[in-house]
Amino acid sequence: MTDGQHISQEDLALFALQALSHEESAAVRKHLSGCEECQTELANLRGDLAAVALSVDQRPLPAGARDRFIKKIAGESSSASAPKPAQPVPIDRSGRVPRAGWAGWLAAAAMLIVAVGLGFEVSHLRARLLEMDNRIASLETGKSHAEQVAELLTAPAAQRVLLSAPKTPPSPSGHLVYLPSRGELILQANNLAPVPAGKTYELWVIPANGSAPIPAGLFRPDAAGNGSVVLPSIPPGVNAKAFGVTLEQAEGSKTPTAPILLAGAVPLSGE
């Protein structure tokens, strides 16, 4: 309190919204430093303004908060029986918009706070929807791959070939399933020797029409000697006479390098 005077509710509301000039704000701060009544009034105004902004999350406002805030910025008395307030502290209003103007501006500022909050909420929801779309797309891709593997393994027209090392005891071996019409293949090899550094096994399709062998996937066995090739990139419609496995450089080869370590012929129709 200074000389029995107080800051008007209008100026306190503008001060709470940081709408006063630098000089006006300094005058209000100076008065607030020694006036508990104006400090209490400012705290109430800030509380009601915060309640309006927080209503963007669809939480109910405290009882009467919105009405109190509107009445305070309009300069109305909160009680018909309240005593007449003391003379307000004068603040220079040169260049200030009239009362009707600042009241509209103040309402627009409150709406801007709500709009910004809604914008953040919409952005958050959009990000969540995009994340869910990406998860669904990933699940659908995995499901499609699994269905493709299952269809190949159970297709009646798929060719099943047993690969073994030629002219040696049949310790290394491989089981192969091939569907020529779709160019789909699965190989499971067992008991393979470890490959040296910079080397890899490569699977080959030997076409029945006598054309050059087609590379059908690179693989390295695990510690137990097991390796596999699943759905490599093979042109559809290639009828195979046989399949073979060779040892190649790590990047693979365009033509097989002798010797053929595993080989298997496609059984004739009816066999």
The pLDDT tens digits for 3-54 are 457 888 778 888 887 778 888 888 888 898 889 889 888 888 777 776 666 5
pLDDT score recorded for residue 239: 96
Class of domain 159-265: mainly beta
- Spatial CA neighbour of 24 closest among 8, 40, 44: 8
Average pLDDT over residues 245-261: 96
Q: DSSP letter at 86?
A: P
Question: What's the pTM value of the predicted model, to 2 decimals?
Answer: 0.44
What six digits make up the tokens of 103?
């009241």
Distance CA 49, CA 143 (A): 52
Domain ranges of the chain: 9-121, 159-265
Cβ–Cβ < 8 Å for 54, 69: no
Q: Where are the alpha helices (DSSP H) in the chain?
A: 9-16, 22-32, 36-54, 65-74, 99-154
pLDDT score recorded for residue 111: 64
Cβ–Cβ < 8 Å for 212, 256: no
Average pLDDT over residues 153-158: 89
Neighbouring residues of 73: CB distance < 8 A, sequence distance ≥ 6:
9, 10, 13, 103, 106
Q: Is the pLDDT of residue 81 over 80?
A: no
CA distances (Å), origin 245, targets 157, 175, 215, 268: 23, 12, 10, 21
CA distances (Å), origin 88, targets 11, 12, 14, 84, 186: 10, 11, 15, 11, 89
Phi, psi of 193 (to 5 degrees): -75, 150
pLDDT (tens digit per residue) in 171-206: 899 999 999 999 999 999 999 999 999 999 999 999
Phi, psi of 265 (to 5 degrees): -95, 145
Distance CA 162, CA 247 (A): 19
pLDDT score recorded for residue 203: 98
pLDDT score recorded for residue 215: 97
CA distances (Å), origin 155, targets 114, 161, 177, 179, 180: 61, 14, 10, 8, 11
Among the ranges given (87-101, 139-153, 220-234), the one the predictor scored with the smallest mean pLDDT: 87-101
For residue 193, the SS3 value is coil
Average pLDDT over residues 122-139: 81
Phi, psi of 243 (to 5 degrees): -135, 150
Among the ranges given (6-10, 73-77, 156-160), the one the predictor scored with the smallest mean pLDDT: 73-77
